[in-house]
Amino acid sequence: MADFDTAPSELIETPPASADVNQEYFSHVKKINDVFYDQVKTSDQKAAYIFTFMLAFLVTSSEVRNVFTLERYYDRTIWENTLSVILGLTSTFSMLSAVMVILPRHLTTSTSLFWGTWSKHRPLLEEAAEHGNLRYLFDEYLKNADILAQIARQKYRFVSYAFRGLIATVLAYVLLLIAG
């Protein structure tokens, strides 16, 4: 996954609680990170399934392939032509929406848990470690949860578009088969 790559937080030992950060809150924010990370991965998987289905649908169905050729529209009724245009638009919309899910996200903020900005965050982590600053770790996990939530929201918006496009494509296809 190009957007965010990190080790599962189970592999990162939880530091002991301090007066500043309670152990249960620290564990909870780590769990939030794990859940959000899994949701980001799940959105990519859903988009891949939708894209694969749409591609297979396009490749295996001459009816769907033909909606992208001009010759199809010459000797058809207005109803068949309308359904053909709808089928072409909805299938294209669904595939483009699925592609939008997996495109990398460019955010203006990052944490030490993102490999792309590690060189920026390493000195901050070293300084926090020198001073035994557990609050730094808690804040990094909290900020990372915000970032993952933003990425997941963006991705799931496009997953929902792709799924709606898929449903509309299937409906248009069935109606076109009935009409033709």
CA separation for the pair 101, 122 (Å, rounded): 30
Question: Which among 142, 144, 147, 137 is positioned nearest to 20, based on CA atoms?
Answer: 137
Q: Give the residue from 106, 95, 88, 87 showing the smallest Cα distance to 161.
A: 95
Residue 124 pLDDT > 50, yes or no? yes
| pLDDT > 90 fraction of the chain, expressed in percent and rounded | 77
Please give the pLDDT value at position 2: 46
- The pLDDT of residue 13 is above 60: no
3/103 Cα distance (integer angstroms): 8
- Lowest mean per-residue pLDDT among 3-7, 33-37, 107-111, 132-136: 3-7
For the cut 70, the answer to whether the pLDDT of residue 19 exceeds it is no
pLDDT mean over 5-33: 68
Return the H-helix or E-strand segment holding 35: helix 23-60
Alpha-carbon dihedral sign for residues 118, 124, 130, 132: negative
**pLDDT in the model for residue 1:** 45
The pTM of this model reads 0.80
Of 51, 63, 20, 24, nearest to 175 by C-alpha is: 63
Q: Pick the more confident residue, 169 or 72.
A: 169
Provide the mean pLDDT of the chain.
Answer: 89
Q: What is the pLDDT of residue 170?
A: 96
For helices 78-102 and 23-60, give the axis angle rounded to 10 degrees: 140
pLDDT band at 16 (very low <50, low <70, confident <90, very high): low
Comparing CA positions, the residue from 131, 136, 133 lying closest to residue 112 is 136
**Over 70: is that where the pLDDT of 175 sits?**
yes
Residue 180's pLDDT is 77
Distance of CA 166 to the CA centre of its chain: 17
